[in-house]
Each structure stands twice: as C-alpha cells, then as structure tokens.
Amino acid sequence: MKELSLNILDIAQNSIKAGASNIHILLNENEETLIITVRDDGCGMTAEILERVENPFYTTRTTRDVGMGIPLLKLAAEQTGGEVTITSVSETDDPVNHGTTISASFFKNHLDFTPLGDIVTTVCTLIHGAPDIDWRYEHIYGDNTVLLDTKQMREILGDVPLDDIEILNWIRQSLSEEYAAL
C-alpha cells in the first residue's frame, strides 16, 4: 500500500464484516512514533483463528484463497522496526463483551516508513461504505486532537443517513479544517 491510510481503510473493513456497531480508529502520534489502533465490538475471533490471521494463506473469504490485509499492515509496521498486535474476544466465548483490537506501531524516522497519506478520504470512504456504524475517529498529535464522532452527529441529524453527499462533504470539511488548524 502506498499510504498507511489505505491500510487503515482495508483493516477497518474487517471490523465492518465482523458486524461491529462501533468502530474506533485511534492514531496516537508524536515526533518519533505513530500508533494506529482499530477497535471494534464485532464478533471477534477465537484463539484458533487469531493464530492464523497473520498468515496470508488464511482468509475467511470464499472468492479467493489469499488474505493480504493483515500481512500488509504487519509488513508496513515491521519494516520501520514497529509491530502489530491483535487481541480479540470471540462472541462465542463472551456474548456480551466481544470484539477485536488491532494495533500497529511505526517508527516515523525510519527510511521505510510509509506516509499516512489522505486519512480524511479514508474516513469519508469508511462512513460512506458503512453509514449505520458508529464511527469514532481520533488523531492525537502531541497536545492536539482531531476528532470525529458520528454518535454526536446523529444526535443532531436524527434519521438523516450519514452517506448522504452533503453529510459526507461536511465530514470532509470538518476534518480538513481541524487538520489545517494543527
């Protein structure tokens, strides 16, 4: 992937497919490190499946035999000296508190660090693709935070769907302005 924001777009699809109601994307960044965390309350994975997800030849998909999402994220992190950790609680093990958290750390000053890229478009694309999910996007950079919380938006919007173009434009502008103010 050319941008880490594309890895985020890809990884978050797993949370959508896991039937999550809430997906939290957290970027925690300082001068030297970037930690990307995607946390969902989807169906989770059993210990057995969790052991296999880093293997590209494991996938739950039926249209092809190769699952490159997590291996690509792992590659991007490890080539900077960082790592990927995944914790998951399966719905079958705990019907109430289940879900998956995937976390990737990067050393930004490493030659092989992939730039974050257009994260605003990634957030807009995710909301467009799964407008019924509650998304919380948070990017902490030092003392500053960029935040978008669809729950807060829904309190105002009522039943107006988030994938309407005017709402998507508002989200794009909102995030762009927050980033510009950093």
Residue 86: what residue type? Answer: I
Taking alpha carbons only, the member of 90, 21, 78 closest to residue 54 is 78
Per rule CB under 8 A, count of chain residues that contact other proteins: 41
Spatial distance between the Cα atoms of 44 and 36, rounded to a whole number of angstroms: 19
Q: Does 140 bind other proteins (CB under 8 A)?
A: no
Question: Which positions ≥6 away from 153 have C-beta within 8 Å?
Answer: 162, 167
Q: Does 79 bind other proteins (CB under 8 A)?
A: no
The interaxial angle of helices 119-129 and 165-180, nearest 10 deg, is 150
Which of 28, 37, 79, 174 touches other proteins (CB under 8 A)? 174
Which of 63, 95, 96, 143 touches other proteins (CB under 8 A)? 63
List the interface residues with other proteins, window 95-124 (CB under 8 A). 118, 121-122, 124
Q: Which residue number, 81 or 117, has a Cβ lying nearer to other proteins? A: 117
Q: Which residue number, 109 or 161, has a Cβ lying nearer to other proteins? A: 161
